[in-house]
Each structure stands twice: as structure tokens, then as C-alpha cells.
Structure 1
């Protein structure tokens, strides 16, 4: 591995009852023993998780279902009003997030692979959670990655609001079109930034030849995104090919290099691009070689592990572990590998309102897991 640079708890009424825990395992860490509990199971390839204000969770399932998971681990029926998804390969219903003003407007945002003429692409829809929590109403697509590509891979698809109220959307290079990540005239392999109702904010880069929704270019397949709790800067975790998974802090108008520069090689072992550096292209803050296949990211701000505040937690799919990256400003100063014997492909990572970490295990019988210290 190369290092270029090295809640308070909810009220008891919202805490997870011990009776709901279906399984419990213990793992070592630098902050003491970690307990991993199964909160809910029976989810088909869960992909994205968001907490509602009352402590319940919204969880997407890749085949196209959105469910509410209660504090005792019960799964709701699939919510109605979902968009039509292209549920093949890596595609389907992907991330979910709440509007910053959800308490007032009940708006929910979903990213998904949308079937279209000529193929499919990453799209974002928003709708209102109805009063009884059984479905979404007034659902409308607010962004479509263009052009459509006939591929089942590399949809990217994390959603995160910045502090101005604009929405970051990560979109992949679609695998077969990786050279297009360098073409700012399309949405392939980019970080997108849009208004909540769709369209480009006035402070987007809008450089000559750039599509107005583009924030940064030269990305492969970003599946982890989080805002730094102090600075509000976007941090991302991005899949490389064979090696070269990256952590970046994408800035407006910059080029992050894929596929011209990378620290990985192709799956065949062949060289990709021109090397590991080139003028005008940004270096990652941190990268993994061999690959861990990062997906899901969250900064820790809770009180359960004070020594871990401002650490970036990243889930690993192929690596089947949880990574903790120590950060200082815009540098990564250390790495700790956690839950290495858990045996779960970790798709998403979130901090819960109780100050613990919640993970999604990506499997045909996937789980919601809670990570906490020993009591």
C-alpha cells in the first residue's frame, strides 16, 4: 500500500432493544473491543441506507425495493412509487438520502440505473414520503446521466448534500467507456452537482466545453462519499481496476486522472494510461493496492469512540472489512483494518443517531449491522 500523504445517544425510546439482536460477534480494535450486531436481515442486495428523524432506517434493495427498517429490525413492505430500474449486473435501485429540510417537505432522493432507449444510465429521482410511510408520491426524475450506455456496470451512485443545499451525485464511467471520463462534454466518470429540483447551481465550474452539472472529471466508479464534519469538503472513495482504489477530495473544475493516470493495472495485468502522475491531474490523498473495492463512506462524529472523531470509515466489498482512515486536514495519516473476519461485503457505512456505526452487508440475503463498543 502506498500513502502519498500519510451524538450523543438517542433517547432510550429510539435505542435498539437487545431483544431485536439476531446475532452478535466481537472484534478487536485500537479503541477496544467492537460488538457487531445483526439489526435486520433478509434484504436482497441492500445498497443504500438513510436514517429518518425518528431513528428508523430507509434501506434500498438493488432489485428495486425501498423499505423502512424499524428499531426492532422489522422490515416494512416495499414502499410504492419506486421508479422503474434496470436491475441487472451492478444496476438497480442504489442510494437514498433525505432532503436537508425533510422535516418540512418529506422529500427523499433515490439514485438508480434507469432503462432508456439505447441502454441505461444513472438517474436521480425525488418524491415525498406519504403520511403513513407506505410509499412515495409526486416522484420525478431530476437528473439523467447522458449518454445512455448499453452496460450493466459502473453506475457510481452516491448522493450527498453539501452545506449550500446542492446535491452531489457520483456517476461511473460505465466500464466500457472509460476514456469518456476525460470528456467533459458528457456525464460519464464525473462528479455531478445539481440543485435539489434539478439543474446546475450557479457556482458550478461551467468551464468551456463542460456540461453544466459537472463538478469534477476523471473518475472511474465512486461508491463512497461523505462531507468532512469540520470543513464541509467532499471526500470520496473510488474503485480502481486491479489496484488503485482512491480516496479523493474532489474540487470544482479539477481532473482526477482516470484513465490517464492510475495506481492500478487492468484486470488482464496490462498497463492503463500513461503512469501514475501527469501535470494538470490530481493525485489521490490515499490509495489501496491491491484493491479492497471500496463502497460506502462516513466520517465519525459521535461520542462512542472519542479517539475516532473525524476518522473516515470506508466499507470494502472484495476486501470484506471496514477501514478506518485517520485524517488531519486534507491528509490521511493512518489506516486501521477492522472486522476482517466478519465475512461481509460491506456496501454502505453510516453513523446512526445513537452514535454507533451501521453497515449494509451486500448479499442475496443481506443484513443491516450495528457496530458499537462493549457496554
Structure 2
């Protein structure tokens, strides 16, 4: 690879890390692995490539992220799990059960598949590491195997370096291991490595039965993902899928109120950030800053504190009856409800 290509890749990784801190470890792992593989290929450390692949991206990511993160305590980075084992289980669960579709065949078999998949991940990763470490052999399909080996080595190396960095960050700074959305890069890398391993195992060699078994596994995973495909919402944030529509219903409701009416809105705590976002983006000057309400707080809001309307996520829908509210808007996807006092 040329120095220009390394520079472009470095800037792309820097932008990726700045846009989503979840990929920071994976971006660093990719850079380190790429330099190491290039060094193995050239039988010497490629200093120019190493500098071009690391320094520009690192400088760009630092320039974009350090100013807003200056002074941010470690307690703000609270999304994650305390152990790698729990992290693996969570990511397998997120892969197989990202959404529950009607007539979900895998869910109908209960979750015995989770135990199998969770146990298979370390075994498959060990197989990937072994395959990546094997020397390339001269065979009739050597060119195809070489490409698969390069991709497998890149993915496996990136995973190993990323995990090493995660363990270090956990031991030194108490940073948690990936969970759900923060583990998406690991899921992608693992599936890509599994695909490369599968492709390498489908050649005319004696052990091609192993490749066929992996191919069946990959096909089952693809079918599983197809069954879960939906574009209505992001699975773990279904509660927030209709907040824009809820804000629109609030605007329509306000138009029925006397001119100059200031609206005070109590909201379920998970809806508060999005509602305040639309309040600012749409310039809703008549809407007071949204605060987070609980069951006890909501009851007080409609009394002494004078709240005029309430936004409830699906988990808080029981408050409509308990507090004597009258629904004035609802979202079918998220189940969120906009309600006002009935009296």
C-alpha cells in the first residue's frame, strides 16, 4: 500500500473515531494490525507507512474530540458491562435477538440457542487465530486463499489488539466492556473474519467439510438477520422511535390553546433529551424546558407545580389511568402517549 493510501485510511479512521467513540479501540487495533502485517510482508518495519497510518488520524480525532470532552469524568461513560464474558453474551444476544419478529422460529425454540452460540464464539475465535497464524501454503487456489488469509489476519489482529486495549482501559480506568451499540464494531469484525474463514475453507482441500459447516452457520445467521429486518426503529431505542411525532402532536395541541399559552411538559426521563431537542430545533418558545418526571413527580406536576401536559413512554402508560389523564396523542411504534389532565 502507498503512503497516500495509508494517509487516507488514517484520516478515515480518525473521523470514524471522532464521530463515534465506540470505534476508538477498533480503529487503533486496525492501524496497529495493518502496520504489523505490512512489516511482516516487507520483513522490516515500514516507518513511513506506520507514521502515515497513525499520526494524522490520531491528531484529527484528538482535535475533534478532546475539546468537548475536556473535563468529562469517567462516570459519564457508563454504558457497558463489567466483564468480557457478560459482554460476549450481550453481543451474541444483540446479534440473534435484535428484534422479535412475528412467528420468530428461533425465539420459539426458547433460548437454548444462546448457550450454544455463546459457547461457540470463543471456539470460533480460537479457530480464526489458528488459521490466521498458519503459514500460507502453495496450492492450486493459493491466490484466493491468500486474499482470504489477508482479510482474516487483518480482522483477527484488529480484534486481538482491540481486546487488549479494552482490558487495559478496564484495569487502569475502570472502563466497561462493550454492550449493545458500543459493541457493533466487534460484531462486524467477528462476522467479517468468520466470512473470510468460511471462504478459505470452501476450496478443494481435504478439510473442506469444515468450510461447509461454517458456510451453513453463516447462512443461518444471514437468514436470522433477514427475519429481524425492520426499519421502524433502532431496536434498543424503540421507546424513542416516535418522539418526533409526539412533538408534532404537542404542536397541534398547542394550536388549540389560547394565544400566548406557555406549556409546561413533564416527560418520562428517557424522552426528555429528544423532546428538548425538538423544542430547540423547532424554536418552540412557548414550551418551557422539559423536565424529567417520575410517577410521584408527575402527580405533583399537575397539581402545585402547574404542569399542563405529559409525555409518557410505553413503560409509563399505566399512569394515564392512575393519574386520571386524557390522551391527546400516541405513537404506534414506540407506544409513547401524550396526555393532559382530564379536568
Structure 1 length-normalised TM = 0.22
User: When you count strand as a share of all residues, which structure comes out higher?
Assistant: 1
Q: What TM-score do the two structures reach when normalised by structure 2?
A: 0.23
Q: Which has the higher helix share?
A: 2
